[in-house]
Amino acid sequence: MTKEAKNAGHIKIDNVEFSQDKIQILTVEDLFADKKPQLPFSSDNTTFKKAQRNEGKSVSKGLFD
């Protein structure tokens, strides 16, 4: 099974090939050991930026105010 997964090749997005395998096999034991599938662009979630928090009092009114 692992041989077939390796033979499936690497992840390809918009004709760009990444080094991560297309098929990755994780066991339940791996999941409990915090092992995660290797995905492109997911090393530290730099794709999304966090919005600034507004610590002041909100001036917007709710639906039923």
Instruction: Kindly report, residue by residue over 8-51, the tens digit of the pLDDT.
Output: 888 888 888 888 888 899 999 999 999 888 888 755 545 567 77
Range of lowest pLDDT (1-5, 47-51, 52-56): 47-51
By CB neighbour count within 10 A (0-12 exposed, 13-18 middle, 19+ buried), where does 62 fall?
exposed
Helix runs in the chain, H state only: 2-7, 28-32
Q: pLDDT value at position 43?
A: 53
Contact 20, 13 (CB under 8 A): no
pLDDT of residue 42: 58
Residue 1 contacts by C-beta under 8 Å, 6 or more apart in sequence?
Answer: 25
Q: Structural domain boundaries of the chain?
A: 2-32
